[in-house]
């Protein structure tokens, strides 16, 4: 199985990555890596193909734009109405303001969050 080295490749596509996708990519990438001269990996290594996961971080404005309509978790630097973490559906993002529809106890509410106050954002799994 490889040595102490791991070559990790993260892959993604709009509809998500399946286990079959990672297996197919491994079958394509591994032999292709073996044909490169000089060998960029002279030591034994383990090839790891994976997806960013269901709760992947949303680190850029573009990733937030792509997440519109999805369920997300947002942590803030500065609280809004004494709340620093919101989890709900990202209704819109115009590059400056996120609009999230979330549940407060049993009521749906909407919050507008200035992008510059976002400390962390990630996709979330709705239970």
25-62 residue pLDDT tens = 999 999 999 899 998 888 888 899 998 888 889 999 99
Asked whether residue 65 falls in the same domain as residue 106, the answer is yes
CATH code: domain of residue 45: 3.30.300.70
**Is the pLDDT at 89 greater than 80, yes or no?**
yes
Q: Exposed e or buried b for every residue in 67-98, given b needs 16+ CB within 10 A?
A: beeebbbbebeeeeeeeeebebbbeebeeeeb
CATH number at residue 75: 2.30.30.180
**45 and 71 belong to one structural domain:** no
Q: Is the pTM of this model over 0.75?
A: no
> Does residue 80 share a domain with residue 46?
no
| Residues 70 and 117 both lie in one domain | yes
Average pLDDT, rounded, for the chain: 91
Q: How many CB atoms lie within 10 A of CB 49?
A: 20
**What is the CA 115 to chain-centroid distance, rounded?**
17
Which residue shows structure tokens 């115009």? 94
Among the candidates 50, 69, 87, a domain finishes at 50
Residue 95's domain comprises: 61-123
Q: 3-class SS at 90?
A: strand
The burial of 19, by beta-carbon neighbours within 10 Å (0-12 exposed, 13-18 middle, 19 or more buried), is given as exposed
Flag whether 55 is in a domain: no
Residue 35 and residue 79 in one domain: no
User: Given this model, what pLDDT does residue 3 score?
Assistant: 56
Say yes or no to pLDDT of 99 above 50: yes
User: 20: how many CB neighbours lie within 10 A of its CB?
Assistant: 8
């Amino acid at each position: 199985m490889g040595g102490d080295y791991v070559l990790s490749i993260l892959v993604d596509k709009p509809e998500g990555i399946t286990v079959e996708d990672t297996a197919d990519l491994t079958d394509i990438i591994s032999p292709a890596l073996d044909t490169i001269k000089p060998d960029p990996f002279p030591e034994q290594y383990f090839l790891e193909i994976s997806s960013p996961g269901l709760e992947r971080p949303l680190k850029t404005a573009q990733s937030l734009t792509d997440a519109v309509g999805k369920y997300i978790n947002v942590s803030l630097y500065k609280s809004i109405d004494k709340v620093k973490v919101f989890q709900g559906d990202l209704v819109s993002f115009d590059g400056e303001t996120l609009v999230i529809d979330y549940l407060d106890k049993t009521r749906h509410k909407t919050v507008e969050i200035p992008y510059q106050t976002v400390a962390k954002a990630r996709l979330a799994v709705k239970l």
